[in-house]
Amino acid sequence: MAARRKRSNSAASKAQSEFVPEAEEILERMRDDLGLLAETVDGDLNPETINGLFRSAHSLKGLSGMFGQEAMSELAHHLEDLLDRLRMGRAVLDRAGLALFDESVTMAATALEKIGDESEAAALAEGIADLIGRIEAWNAAPRAEAVPVVPELDVPPALLRALTEYEEHRLSDNLERGRGIYVIDADFEIASFEEGLHEIQSAIREVGEVLSTLPSPGGSLESHIRFSLLTATELDKGALVGRLDLADNAIQVARAPLGTAKTEASAPQGASASHDDGQTEAKAAAARAEPEIAEPGTLKSISDTVRVDIRKLDELMNLVGELAIQRSAVQQIASKLAMDPATHRIGTDLAKVHKTLERKLQELQSGVLEVRMVPLRQVFDKLTRVARRLRLDLEKEARLEIEGADTELDKLIVEELIDPLMHVIRNAFDHAIEPADEREAAGKPREGLIQIVASQRGNDVLITVSDDGRGIDAEKVRARAVEAGLVTAESDLTRSETLDLVFHPGLSTRDEVTETSGRGVGMDVVRSNIGALGGLVDISSEVGQGTTLTITLPITLAIIQALLVRVGEHRFAIPLNSIRETLLVEDSDLQRTDGRQLMNLRGEALPLCRLADEFDLDTPETGKSYAVVLGVGDARLGLLVDHLDGQQDTVIKPIQGPIASVRGIAGATEMGDKGAVLVLDVSALVEDVVRKGEVS
Amino acid sequence: MQRILIVEDSGTMRSLIASTLEELGEPVKVDEAENGFEALRLLPRVPYDLILTDINMPDINGLELVSFVKRDERYAGIPLVIVSTESSERDRDKGLELGADAYLVKPFDPDALRTLVVDLLGRSG
């Protein structure tokens, strides 16, 4: 009992901690929907957008009510009421109404932020009460009470009986508009019915409206499930059959469209494209009643957010990057001038101006970067859904826990993360987590645990995915790698080097090894996906205890800090986030063993690579050089160069032509007076040297 | 062990209902379905003793789910409770007409939920 009580309390506090993020999500959705409405408020409103808003207000009311947030619940209640009238055609939306919605969402967001802040509670409650008063005043505008009319229709009674009040209204509205009403029967395999159903639903929405989706009981086939979709469209049956690519007998006509039925060629793009005289007239009347509000263009923007094409942000980011390069040119001129006694004064003045320029430029850069940042929540929410699906499909007892969903990353990176993370989660469910009985026998809880934790570390974001499953047997991985010819039987590999082999394409694509090693197929693809984002993947695992995958990503792809190095006459840039340290080394520090060049770094052997040899460059023998210690995950490599030329902000640009395919080059960057400089692909360099070491 | 299915699109509300039911002190296992689709997947697999469903959900709403459950002879005997806000009154009544066994108004009193569930589980078991 005590244990149960404890679990319950934690479940209750889990609910408590879920409340604020979920309410935030609802408000975010409402903002998006209001944005859509704002675009069409003078035309026909999309019933689905209004209904979506209604559902959001409804959920917010229920949630805030359960958590004792009475003011917010009351506000949501009024919004819900208003939206209900709108979706039922009992009220007409105008700009004043839209502005009220907008204000309400902002108010609710503020109230959410201030939860627990007693000092603000009174002022907030007053603000909400005032807003509710204005909503009621707007709400009080006269409206026609429409009674849903559902005439005799050739529709199965079960379908009609299960219609909600709103769906009844949509049916009668569509009937009034003379649209055709159809019952579409569709049969799917139970394993994949969501996809099939969504496909048919979205095909219908292109030409009309789905009024109701009713699963049919007890098919003779256990593996199949049937749905009846009540559908309204202006298309005639022939056109609809063609459009949906269904058999003729899958569509029953409940009522054919009235008047001039639309054939495929003249089909409208969505139900909202058609016009309704009644509603337009009512809107005109509302406009006459409130002329100062109805005049478009005289109002403030009703939404305080804008949507921006990410490419525009890319352009801005590039400009900022180029400005940063010009800035360093100014800095150099300033210090040249300051060194010369004749121009010392002007040089120091310029240096001061440069300081301000530098600061403002940094602010500009972080401002643009911030706009591109989105929380990982977007990806994590998708993963949660995938995990729920997997749990149902695989009948594995495992749960996914997520931490750090508020961690922010560049939008482009976040989008590219979905696939690799999904893959990793799927592997964990498929292979890593043992069946419940096996777990119990091993003394583990029956339910497996997969954890994703994200956090920011300086300019990196760290995402770890860990499971408490069967872990990877390094010996088996090694044996398989030897068999596949990736390493020799004599290779002296550390445990982490061995585990790292699961990322090798020759190994990770073979499922027979991964079945037994606990990690599934395609880990090489995961690594290359993450690598393309400038990120790193590491793995650690204990047999019987589980596996942890650590993904390190740069916060943004756009501008990176780089170290400039020189080899002879040639300059290269190395991304600073992969540099662990730099050392001045004498030739006498270097050792050669088994064809590998090494040096002793605090008691550990550091493999070395001379950049000049890597790219066949001429370089004078000086007897000393600099070792730039690169780190990719746990692997370390000392890169030997002649000079270090300092740090610089760089914008990496892809290069075209033959050099683009040279391994070890990630791109090029413009360096002001120094011309173009090649940027090294650190992960490729490290991988090559480490692998060379393995086979030698 | 009694098995209960919660169909509700709000994760917070699901956690809240689940935690309330876990305090029953009886061996119950609560499954959560985020939408009607997940419920349709779970139903053929798990012999449920009780279903709790919201009405306002995307894709398949609560009434459609009630209609399905109560018309399918495999599931018709499972007690079913509609958990919805007072504003869905007319829909709730439709749900009862479709065969739902009881309803609970959100925000609900945890004790009322537990009493109702114990009562329905007792009846079925």
Neighbour tally for A260: CB within 10 Å: 10
- CB of B83 less than 8 A from some CB of A: no
Let me know: does A139 contact A82? Beta carbons within 8 Å: yes
Chain A residues with beta carbon closer than 8 angstroms to that of B13? 15, 62-63, 66
Residue A558: what pLDDT? 55
Say if residue B107 is preceded by a cis peptide, omega within 30 of 0: yes
The answer to whether B98 contacts A19, with C-beta atoms less than 8 Å apart, is no
Residue A160: pLDDT above 60?
A: yes
Give the model's confidence band at A658: pLDDT under 50 very low, under 70 low, under 90 confident, else very high. Answer: low
The tally of domains found in chain A comes to 5
Give the model's confidence band at A298: pLDDT under 50 very low, under 70 low, under 90 confident, else very high. Answer: very low
Query: Mean pLDDT, to the nearest integer, of A415-442?
Result: 87
**Residue from the list A81, A212, A218 with its beta carbon closest to the beta carbon of B64:** A212
Residue A361: what pLDDT? 85
Residue A42: pLDDT above 70?
A: no
Residue A12: pLDDT above 90?
A: no
Please check whether residue A293 lies inside any domain of the structure.
no
Cα B92 to chain centroid, rounded: 13
Residue A74: pLDDT above 60?
A: yes
Give the model's confidence band at A671: pLDDT under 50 very low, under 70 low, under 90 confident, else very high. Answer: low
- When comparing pLDDT for A465 and A246, which is higher? A465
Residue A448: what pLDDT? 92
Give the model's confidence band at A10: pLDDT under 50 very low, under 70 low, under 90 confident, else very high. Answer: low
Give the model's confidence band at A220: pLDDT under 50 very low, under 70 low, under 90 confident, else very high. Answer: low
The answer to whether B87 contacts A81, with C-beta atoms less than 8 Å apart, is yes
Max avg pLDDT among A228-232, A302-306, A505-509, B105-109: A228-232
The residue from A83, A111, A139 where one domain ends is: A139
Residue B28 to residue B4: CA distance in whole angstroms: 7
- A71 to chain B, minimum CA–CA distance in Å? 14
pLDDT tens for each residue of A497-519: 888 888 887 675 444 444 333 34
- When comparing pLDDT for B115 and A682, which is higher? B115
Residue A291: what pLDDT? 39
Cβ within 8 Å of B, A 570-609: none
Please check whether residue A515 lies inside any domain of the structure.
yes
Say if residue A199 is in the same domain as residue A97: no
Say if residue A526 is in the same domain as residue A564: no
Tokens of A9: 């309390």
**Residue from the list B42, B64, B94 with its beta carbon closest to the beta carbon of A213:** B64
Beta bridge partner(s), residue A334? none
Residue A605: pLDDT above 80?
A: yes
Q: Can you give the CATH number for the domain in which B21 is found?
A: 3.40.50.2300
Structural domain of residue A355, as residue ranges?
310-373
The answer to whether A55 contacts B58, with C-beta atoms less than 8 Å apart, is yes
% of chain A beyond a pLDDT of 90: 15
Query: Mean pLDDT, to the nearest integer, of A674-687?
Result: 80
Say if residue A329 is in the same domain as residue A396: no
**Residue from the list B25, B68, B88 with its beta carbon closest to the beta carbon of A215:** B68
Residue B62: what pLDDT? 93
The tally of domains found in chain B comes to 1
- CB of A353 less than 8 A from some CB of B: no
Please check whether residue A107 lies inside any domain of the structure.
yes
The residue from A139, A165, A182 where one domain ends is: A139
Residue A472 DSSP code: -
Say if residue A402 is in the same domain as residue A517: yes
User: What's the whole-number average pLDDT of chain A?
Assistant: 79
Least confident of A94-98, A236-240, A477-481, A661-665: A661-665
Residue A668: pLDDT above 80?
A: no
User: Which residue out of A198, A392, A399, A401 would a mutagenesis test of the B interface target, given it has the greatest number of B Cβ atoms within 10 Å?
Assistant: A392
This model of the complex carries an ipTM of 0.90
The answer to whether B71 contacts A63, with C-beta atoms less than 8 Å apart, is no
- When comparing pLDDT for A388 and A574, which is higher? A574
Residue B120 to residue B82: CA distance in whole angstroms: 13
Query: Mean pLDDT, to the nearest integer, of A569-596?
Result: 84
Residue A149: pLDDT above 80?
A: no
Say if residue A425 is in the same domain as residue A545: yes
Q: What backbone torsions phi and psi does residue A389 show, to the nearest 5 degrees? A: -60, -45
Q: Can you give the CATH number for the domain in which A100 is found?
A: 1.20.120.160
CA distances from residue A286 to A141, A274, A276 in whole angstroms, order as listed: 9, 21, 16
Say if residue A591 is in the same domain as residue A681: yes
Max avg pLDDT among A7-16, A266-275, A313-322, B16-25: B16-25
DSSP element (H, E) containing B2: strand B2-7
Contacts of A667 (CB under 8 A, 6+ apart): A652, A653, A654, A655, A678, A679
Say if residue A169 is in the same domain as residue A117: no
The residue from A139, A169, A194 where one domain ends is: A139
Chain A residues with beta carbon closer than 8 angstroms to that of B40? 190, 193, 215, 225
A664-667 contacts at long range (C-beta below 8 A, 24 or more positions apart): A664/A614, A664/A615, A664/A688, A666/A575
- CB of A148 less than 8 A from some CB of B: no
Give the model's confidence band at A414: pLDDT under 50 very low, under 70 low, under 90 confident, else very high. Answer: confident
Give the model's confidence band at A275: pLDDT under 50 very low, under 70 low, under 90 confident, else very high. Answer: very low
Chain A residues with beta carbon closer than 8 angstroms to that of B45? 395
pLDDT tens for each residue of B47-86: 999 999 999 888 899 999 999 999 998 899 999 999 988 7
Query: Mean pLDDT, to the nearest integer, of A657-672?
Result: 70
pLDDT tens for each residue of A681-693: 887 788 777 666 6
Residue A294 to residue A282: CA distance in whole angstroms: 13
pLDDT tens for each residue of A84-103: 888 888 888 888 888 889 89
Say if residue A573 is in the same domain as residue A659: yes
Least confident of A350-354, A634-638, B112-116: A634-638
Say if residue A34 is in the same domain as residue A116: yes
Please check whether residue A461 lies inside any domain of the structure.
yes
Angle at A593 between CA A589 and CA A594, to 5 degrees: 155
The answer to whether B10 contacts A22, with C-beta atoms less than 8 Å apart, is yes
Residue A520 to residue A516: CA distance in whole angstroms: 9
DSSP element (H, E) containing B102: strand B102-106
The answer to whether A65 contacts B106, with C-beta atoms less than 8 Å apart, is yes
Tokens of B71: 């018309």
A472-475 contacts at long range (C-beta below 8 A, 24 or more positions apart): A472/A499, A472/A502, A472/A517, A472/A518, A472/A519, A472/A539, A472/A541, A472/A543, A472/A547, A473/A516, A473/A517, A473/A518, A473/A543, A474/A498, A474/A499, A474/A541, A474/A543
% of chain A beyond a pLDDT of 70: 80
Cβ–Cβ pairs < 8 A, chains A and B: 127
Cβ within 8 Å of A, B 106-125: 106-108
Please check whether residue A296 lies inside any domain of the structure.
no
Query: Mean pLDDT, to the nearest integer, of A553-574?
Result: 81
Query: Mean pLDDT, to the nearest integer, of A587-605?
Result: 83
Say if residue A222 is in the same domain as residue A368: no
User: What's the whole-number average pLDDT of chain B?
Assistant: 89
Residue A388: what pLDDT? 78
In A73-175, DSSP assigns E strands to none
The torsion region of residue B94 among left (phi > 0), alpha (psi -120 to 50) and beta comes to: alpha
pLDDT tens for each residue of A177-193: 889 999 999 888 877 78
- A64 to chain B, minimum CA–CA distance in Å? 9
Say if residue A356 is in the same domain as residue A381: no
User: Which residue out of B54, B56, B93 would a mutagenesis test of the A interface target, given it has the greatest number of A Cβ atoms within 10 Å?
Assistant: B56
Residue A277: what pLDDT? 41
The torsion region of residue A297 among left (phi > 0), alpha (psi -120 to 50) and beta comes to: left
Please check whether residue A326 lies inside any domain of the structure.
yes
Contacts of A635 (CB under 8 A, 6+ apart): A497, A500, A686, A687, A690
Residue A273: pLDDT above 60?
A: no
Residue A440: pLDDT above 80?
A: yes
Residue B9 to residue B35: CA distance in whole angstroms: 6
Residue A405: what pLDDT? 87
Please check whether residue A302 lies inside any domain of the structure.
no
Q: What backbone torsions phi and psi does residue A18 show, to the nearest 5 degrees? A: -80, -20
Angle at A170 between CA A164 and CA A171, to 5 degrees: 90
Angle at B33 between CA B31 and CA B39, to 5 degrees: 100
Structural domain of residue B90, as residue ranges?
2-124
Query: Mean pLDDT, to the nearest integer, of A540-560?
Result: 83
Q: Of A280, A179, A187, nearest to A237 (Cα)?
A: A179
User: Which residue out of B3, B35, B61, B103 would a mutagenesis test of the A interface target, given it has the greatest number of A Cβ atoms within 10 Å?
Assistant: B61
Residue whose entry in the numeric block shows the structure tokens 């090559």: A688
Residue A520: what pLDDT? 47
Say if residue A392 is in the same domain as residue A437: yes
Residue A343: pLDDT above 50?
A: yes
- B98 to chain A, minimum CA–CA distance in Å? 7
Please check whether residue A440 lies inside any domain of the structure.
yes
> How far from each other are the two terminal CA atoms of chain B, in whole angstroms?
11
Let me know: does A450 contact A387? Beta carbons within 8 Å: yes
Residue B124: pLDDT above 70?
A: no
Chain B residues with beta carbon closer than 8 angstroms to that of A385? 34
